[in-house]
Chains A and B, each alone.
Chain A
Amino acid sequence: MNDHTDHSDHSDIADRLDRAVAGLRTPDVLPQVLAVGRRRRAQRRVVQGVGGIAAASVLAISAHAFADGRSPATPSVAADPAAPTDASRSAGPAVGAASSTAPDQCPSGPERGWWSASHREVADRLAALLPDGVRLGTEERRSAGVAGLWSGDVLTNGTTDADFLQIELLPPPGTPAPLQSLQVVLDDLADPDGCPAEPNEPAQRIAPCEASAEPASCEEIRSEDGDLVGVATRSVQGTGSDPRATVVRATFAVPGGGYVQLYVSTGTPSDRPDTPVDPADTPAITPADAAAIVRDPVWIR
């Protein structure tokens, strides 16, 4: 009898699966993961802070219904990130865990400031600061509506080339990032971390260019007093024989705390992972452009 469950008989299938994905190039989703993840953690603390599960249920029901476009239903709540997120498999223990968290342990809500500019404001300001001939394109679904954040494509007029761009307004250390709009996700409402202060560290540390050997290009941003307050770099991800994308990053330390950070990559969701990387391709935003964008006072008004 041919037992199809015998693994040793099906190495051909395993080989086929291996070959099918061997050449896949993994998209760089880390900037978005960190930005969205920070907001999600902040949201979790806020939900805990406003009085436990009753408020959480109201928030979850309304947001869930809004996001899905259907009638409010029982919210799914699970403390375990690996737990299924559908209501049928999410159990109640996390509700108890959330309820047991003392509400006054956590901040009662995000402090507002320049970093909590609305999503629309961020997009409008960014569009006005782009170099001539460059405009915003399709927005990433996951950042839509999120305060202090915009991510999506940037297009160069007269070409079909698009780059990926993300700008993020990072609050001062200890301040929760703005809420994630109505994309409320309460999978892990019960925060096993408690309420430690959010460091809001930028993805790129501000250091003198001479201290950084990796970037192909680096510009320092200095205050009128000559202090180092930011840096803009261009580098190639991957190795020399396997370049993944050219990336421009800019980070500016806002006086009084917090950062404006910009990430631009030659790879977009629509042309990866199958599109061969052209090492000569560079983002439409240069490090000088990026430095000018992040240090513009429009972000902190």
Chain B
Amino acid sequence: MNASELPADSVGLVTPRKVAIDRPLALDCGKTLPRHDLMVETYGALNAEGSNAILICHALSGDHHAAGYHAGGDKKPGWWDSCIGPGKPIDTRRFHVVALNNLGGCRGSTGPGTINPDTGKPWGPDFPIVTVRDWVRSQALLADALGIRQWAAVIGGSLGGFQVMQWAIDFPDRIRHALVIAAAPKLSAQNIAFNEIARQAILSDPDYHGGHFYGQNVVPSRGLKLARMLGHITYLSDAAMREKFGSVLKSGAMGFNYDVEFEVESYLRYQGQSFVDRFDANTYLLMTKALDYFDPARDFGDSLAEAFRRARAKFLVVAFSSDWRFAPARSREIVRALVEAGRDVSYALIDSQLGHDDFLMPLPEYNRVLATYLGRAAAEVNA
């Protein structure tokens, strides 16, 4: 497809850019990054008052390429193209949308794969483990650099939703609306357990080399592949897997070997392999740790409601009925705490089939909720 054939409701061709954050960032781990870079894409124009900006926070494997195409020949648009564009729920005719690759990422922002100025070599495992709070602080520095004092909305699904909550707590005056999608107030023991297996898969791969694999001309592909395969199981519901893959032998007969015999095996192997080609193992480790550490209630006597008392934003919480990774009950914990804190909150439970991944899907009911809510948010800021 060439540029003239891009869909009419697409933001079209987009070019990522690197924003240098030259101010020091004190991290939760105690270290300070004197400077860092963030890869950013923006869609739609910032209005004269600078009041119509929306920040998109990505999940585990996301990045700054949230919508549109980098080149006419791209097979796929950005990861949330179904939701961002002219006339879409996050309407780029009204909003100025900012998407970034978080600190510690592997798509151009400062992270384990970039050069540590102290050593002249890639950071590797020495890159500080960052937290959701660190990301939000880094995003606030980005907002300063872009001249955005207050976001009309901060929006994110899954781990992205964690960042949204943290924004509302840590920078109450800089966010008008918080859209928390398919998230949880913190990880459950089961969530952490899945992350731990993913980490062990990577750490125990001989090609990991203690994280210093960049110089060895290898990547811990087996470990990263296993980690992603495991992750994919948690992104889909049992019913969706059944529907998609069934459990019928591909050849019709048992082969009595360990080759691919079921559809789901080839799916997982394919997903795992394609992930290895685009993702960094150290970043994956760091992201899972940020997930595990997230618990905004920890600083408030383990009371999420106390944490939310600081917030000023209005909240929209969205959950999906078939999501078992961050089930609707977890979203309701968030809603309960917000109500207890007296915050404005709406909550929609979207009837869904796929599972956790549904937050990326263009489900009509989901799109309607987002579009309706954001339509009102746009009117508030004259967008």
A and B are partners in one complex rather than unrelated chains: no
List B residues at the A interface (Cβ < 8 Å): none
List A residues at the B interface (Cβ < 8 Å): none
